[in-house]
A and B are shown apart, each in its own frame.
Chain A
Amino acid sequence: MSRALARRETIAGYLFMLPSLFFFITFVIYPMVMCVWTSLFNSTMGKEAQDTFIGIANFVELFQDKIFLKALWNTILIVVVSVPTVCIFSLWVSSRIYNMPDWACSLFRVIFYLPVITGSVAVTVVWKWMFNNYYGIFNYVGTSLGILEKNINWLGDERFALWCIILILFTTSVGQPIVLYVSALGNVDQSLVEAAQVDGATDLQVFWKIKWPQIMPTTLYILVITTINSFQCFALIQLLTSGGPNNSTQTIMYYIYYTCFKLYRYGYANAMGVVLAIIIAILSAVQFKVAQEK
């Protein structure tokens, strides 16, 4: 290929990238830079309000803020519980359904994917009704069967509220991993599976030695996406508990929203955003590293 042709192709390539690059810079890079920049200021709402440079004071305050620390703990708990359960459950379901007849496999995929395509508000309203303290179905069934002595205020009791959120998050998170795993398992090289079986490998060995390495890229993708989604759990909290009771369902994302939109402390909220982004980046990097080593 001549240099002129190569240059022309390079230019064409960049031109094709330009629209995406524009959106990426405008809606990702620029807000990221602004977020870091604003986190260094005491920035608030007001026509006459002036932003004051305060260096890392917002970050120092963050780690003395009991609510932030509680939110951080809750967020980590959500991630630690939901990421493995989502991955394991979706892998198990996928492994059971991927070799079923097409109609059955599609049916299960639709069932598990439905909560994903249903709007989060609609899903949340239904769950809120089911958890209702006075006439919710869980209390109705529980008390009718004698499992519960009296109604439980699922979302109003700090012992249960966060677990209810995790349960809802679980149901809305498994759809996409199941679809991806079904696809990945379907693409596993059958000749290797058959060869292993001929050599006397057990089902577990076939899965662990043959299938698992081949679906590793999918697993990595699911791990990263589920981790990010769990960290960014917001709508459920906003619609169900507003972070209560007693901050027991407070998450970093919700606390960012509250600090920004209710208290108008833009700098402080941005500082939280920076910390959250760093945590997510570190975890994602670790996940990539571990997966690559495998």
Chain B
Amino acid sequence: MKKALALILALCLALSVVACGGAASSAPASESTPAEGGEAAPATTQITLATYPIGKWSDEAVVNELIAGFNAVHPEIEVTVQYLDYTNGDDAVNTAIEAGTAPDVIFEGPERLVANWGAKGYLVDLADLVNPNTYASVIGSCTSENGAVYELPVCMTAHCMGINKDLFEAAGAWQYVDAESHTWTTENFVKAVEALVAYGHTNVGAVYCGGQGGDQGTRALVTNLYGGTYANAEHTAYTANCAENVKALQLLKDLEGINFDASIVGGDEVSLFANGTLAMAFCWNVALENNNAETIQFDAFPMAFPTESGDPVLQGGIWGFGIFDNGDQAKIDAAKTFVEYMTTGDAYVAAVEASSYWPVFEVEGMYEGNEQMTEYGLLVPYMGDYYQITKGWTEARTAWWNALQAIGSGTDVQEALDTFVETANAAANAA
């Protein structure tokens, strides 16, 4: 009896090992599903799409609908979706790359697709799929220095500011805003902040620096105030320690109502703006307004960042597809079929609409009659250089919020920005 029990126990333990070991064995790269009755069916290629939360591309129902449309035309390709977030998404993808299980298709922007994974040799050149009507500046941002197009662009937007119009009106600060062009001068921005503080709203805006989330807002705010730059035009070096940026950060540091807040990131700032705590958000765009529509109880008015010249340069966002080279040509071909479908015809319009942003080439009649998109669309022409593909970007991002934290803690602005540039350029040179 004892022996039998021991044997059963040993068998269970051995099986558990085998079961665990079995999980490691990978399935064939391209799997075919036999039809019922043993008849050979057309091979089904399984691909994985990983998507960051770009507008409604984080909404399972919306994405499933897009994929259903694809499968109606291409039933031979099965698409599994992996939803990523900006907090842990990079780690998930990096771990998958190192484990040899990277997704086949990924939906994100050039700072990751071109400057990171593309530059490291993990992505496929998609030059053959580029729509010739795509805006040249967009294609330029999706092209690596070796000429390879690592991102097939789908949509774009200009990141802007959001202001609480109701509060501005109540505080008498609305007069400082050019409501028609959605722009304002640095001088008027300061006056508006002062008016809001005088009205009793002490938390006007937050230079959030708890992490890299939404850092496009703080970069654009600083570089616009006095016309500074963040990186050079060649995207080879960081220039954020220029006199204009020092002046801008000093202004923000000294301005009552603007807090350097190391306990929040862009997402937190958006929430604080949406619930009325802050009077303005430096991290804002149309998708953020839509995503927070239920919380917002006031008129959220999109604004360009304030400038001395009245000529803002907004930080662009360009999102598109990248395809990982996982060593399986069948999967690469299937992935190409998928992204080609999503960037052509009606499917393209649906894909762009799902993002809540704008197409990367002229699409006649798109957003016609859509008041909100027309309003936000006024800011798109202000889109500036896409410097996020500058080498060493990942380390530079961290160095930026570290610099803001240092300034918030009392470090001299010039010293903090010099440290930022030193760190970021060291990373750029090492890349």
> Which chain B residues border A16 with CB–CB below 8 Å?
9-10, 13
Residues of B within 8 Å of A19, CB to CB, are: 13-14, 16-17
The answer to whether B263 touches A263, judged by C-beta atoms less than 8 angstroms apart, is no
B236 at interface by CB-CB < 8 Å: no
The reply to whether A245 and B91 form a contact with Cβ atoms under 8 Å apart is no
Interface residues of B in 401-422 (CB under 8 A from A): 401-402, 405-406, 408-409
The verdict on A246 contacting chain B, using a C-beta distance below 8 Å, is yes
B212 nearest CB neighbor, chain A only: A242
Is B134 interfacial (CB-CB < 8 Å)? Answer: no
Chain A contacts with B in 119-135, Cβ cutoff 8 A:
131-135
B272 at the interface (CB under 8 A from A): yes
Q: How far is the CA of A22 from the CA of B122 in the complex (A)?
A: 33
Q: Given contacts A12-B6, A45-B94, are A244 and B405 in contact (CB under 8 A)?
A: yes
B37 CB, nearest partner CB in chain A, Å: 42
- Cβ-defined contact, A134 with B203, below 8 A: yes
Q: Mark contacts of A242-278 with chain B using CB atoms, 8 A cut-off: 1 yes-contact digit, 0 otherwise.
A: 1011110000000000100111100000000000000
Annotate A106-148 by CB proximity to B: 1 below 8 A, 0 otherwise.
0000000000000000000000000111110000000000000
Please tell me which one of the listed residues B10, B16, B263 contacts residue A154 in the complex, with CB atoms under 8 A apart. B263
Cα distance A158–B17 when bound, in Å?
48
Q: Which residues on the B side are within 8 Å of A134 (C-beta)? A: 203, 272, 277
Chain A residue nearest in CB terms to B203: A134
Is B306 interfacial (CB-CB < 8 Å)? no
Which of B17, B209, B277 is the one whose CB lies under 8 Å from A22? B17
Contacts of B48 in A (CB 8 A): none
CA distance A19 to B18 in the complex (A): 10
Whether B409 pairs with A158 at a CB distance below 8 angstroms is: yes
Interface string of B356-396 (1 = CB under 8 A from A): 00000000000000000000000000000000000000110
Interface size on B, residues (CB 8 A): 37
- Please pick, from A45, A131, A158, the residue contacting B97 in the complex, using a CB distance under 8 A: A45
Q: Which of B120, B262, B406 has the most CB of A within 10 A?
A: B262
Cross-chain contact B394 with A46 (CB below 8 angstroms): no
Residues on B with beta carbons closer than 8 Å to the beta carbon of A149? none
Nearest-neighbor residue (CB-CB) of B21 within chain A: A22
User: CB distance A46 to B120 under 8 Å?
Assistant: yes
Instruction: Show the binding face of B for A, using Cβ within 8 Å.
Output: 6, 9-10, 13-14, 16-17, 90-91, 94-95, 97-98, 120-122, 203, 209-211, 259, 261-264, 272, 277, 325, 394-395, 398, 401-402, 405-406, 408-409
Q: A45-B97, A244-B209 are in contact. List 11 more A-B contacts (CB 8 A).
A: A16-B10, A18-B14, A47-B325, A156-B264, A244-B210, A245-B210, A245-B405, A261-B90, A261-B91, A261-B95, A263-B394
A-B CB contact pairs (8 Å), 17 listed? A18-B13, A19-B13, A45-B97, A45-B120, A46-B120, A47-B325, A133-B263, A134-B272, A134-B277, A154-B263, A158-B409, A241-B262, A244-B210, A246-B409, A258-B398, A262-B90, A264-B394
